[in-house]
Amino acid sequence: MQTFPLDSAIALKNTAAFNQDALQQYLDKAAPSFGKILSITKFPGGYSNQTYCLQTEQQEWVLRMPPVGANIQSAHDMGREYRVLNLLEPHYKKIPKPLLLCDDASIIGQPFYIMERLSGVILRAGNAPKLGISYQEMQDLSTALINNLVALHALDITTTGLNQLGKPEGYVDRQVAGWTKRYQAAQTDQIESLDQVAKWIAANHPRAQAATLLHNDYKYDNLILDPNNLSNIIGVLDWEMATVGDPLMDLGATLAYWFEADENAVFRNYNLSWLPGNLSRQQLVENYALATGRDLTDIVFYYVFGLFKNAVIAQQIYHRYQQGNSNDPRFGALLPMIQLLGATAASAIEKGKI
C-alpha cells in the first residue's frame, strides 16, 4: 500500500513575519509548559489567514493569525475560530486541540491562537495530481468526504452549545443579501452573468431546513488525511467561517468547489475533484440525501449560491489588487476565474441542474 507524503511547512521568506522573541516572552507567561520555540515555518496555501508551525523541544504546534494589516472581521476572527474548536472538542474528535488564544495584537502584530498540530496529508490542487492516487483511493476518499459532512451536520447544536455561534432564523436571506452587497461594493468590471445570478438568488429562496452546524469552507484542502489510508479523515481545519444555519448552504459550498473532468480546465488550478475516481456532484448529492433524509429539491439554488459566493470572494481579492493594496500576481489574475464562475452559475440556472 502506498504511503503518501505528510503536509509540511516551509522556511519563512520574510524572517520578520512576526517577532519570535515577543511571542516567546508571551508564551513563557501564558503557557509556561510550552517550552522554547526552536523554529518557525509557514504552511503553504490559502488566500486568507496565515498558518505557522512552531517547533518546540517537546512537539509541534500551529499558530493561526490574520495577515498583518488585515481588518479583523468575521473572515479573520481568531477568537471565533478558537471558540468553535473549544465548543467542538468534547463532541467531535477530528479537530486539532486548541491551546490558547491571544487577542492582544501588540504581541506579534495581530491576534492569534495556538493549537496542536495534526500530522497528515493535505491534498491541494498543486500536489495531488502528482501523487499517483488510484481511482479506488479517490472514490473512497470522496465518499468519506461527504460522509464526514453528514456527521458534522448530525451534531446536536443545542446540547453541544454550538447554537451560540449564530442565528439560524433567516440565515439564507441574510447570506443572499450580504454577499450581493459585498459584490456590489467590490465590483470592478461589468459581469452580466453575475448580475443575473444575484437577481435570481434574491428571487428564488429555497424551502427552510432544520439548522445544523455549518463549516462553510468544507473541501479537500481543509482535510487532514491518514498517509496510509487517504479515506481516513484525521482532521478538519479552517473553522473561521463556521456558524449554524441551513445545512444545504454547507453542501452547496462544497459542490461549488467540485468541478469535474469534463468541465473547463482552468478549474483544475483550484481543485482536485476532477481526478479519476471522484464522485460526481450528483453522486455527492445522492449520498447526502440518502444518509440524511433531507429534501434536496432546491439543490440548484444552493449550488448556484455557492458559485456566486466564491466569485464574490475572488472579486474582493481582485478589487484589493486593483486598488493597489496587494502586489500578489495570483490576485491580479483572478478576473477570468470570476467571469467563469458567473457563467457556470448562470448555466446551472438555465439548465436547472448541478
> Which of 197-202's residues contact partners 24+ apart within 8 Å by CB, and which partners?
197/304, 197/307, 197/308, 197/342, 197/345, 197/346, 197/349, 198/308, 200/304, 200/349, 201/176, 201/301, 201/304, 201/305, 201/308, 202/176, 202/177
Three-point CA angle 97, 101, 107, nearest 5°? 135
Model pLDDT, residue 14: 56
Model pLDDT, residue 293: 97
Which residue, chain included where needed, has cell 431546513? Answer: 209
Beta carbons of 252 and 306 less than 8 angstroms apart: yes
The structural domains of the chain, with segments of one domain joined by +, span 10-116, 128-351
H-type alpha helices, the chain: 20-30, 78-88, 135-153, 171-186, 192-203, 247-257, 281-292, 299-322, 329-332, 335-351
Judged against a pLDDT cut of 90, whether residue 169 lies above it is answered with yes
Pick the CATH number of 10-116 from 3.30.200.20, 3.30.420.40, 3.40.140.10, 1.10.540.10: 3.30.200.20
Mean pLDDT of 140-163: 98
What's the CA gap between 119 and 67, in Å, rounded? 24
Judged against a pLDDT cut of 80, whether residue 46 lies above it is answered with no
pLDDT band at 196 (very low <50, low <70, confident <90, very high): very high
Report pLDDT digits (tens) over 248-291.
999 999 999 999 999 999 899 889 999 999 999 999 999 999 99
| The domain made up of 128-351 is a member of CATH 3.90.1200.10 | yes
pLDDT band at 157 (very low <50, low <70, confident <90, very high): very high
Model pLDDT, residue 13: 59
* Cell numbers found for residue 72: 479583523
What's the CA gap between 256 and 276, in Å, rounded? 18
Judged against a pLDDT cut of 60, whether residue 16 lies above it is answered with no
Report pLDDT digits (tens) over 245-259.
999 999 999 999 999
Report pLDDT digits (tens) over 48-91.
688 999 999 989 999 999 875 555 455 558 899 999 999 999 99
Model pLDDT, residue 325: 81
Model pLDDT, residue 76: 56
Model pLDDT, residue 71: 54
Other beta carbons within 10 angstroms of residue 77's beta carbon come to: 17
Which DSSP category does 166 fall into?
A: -
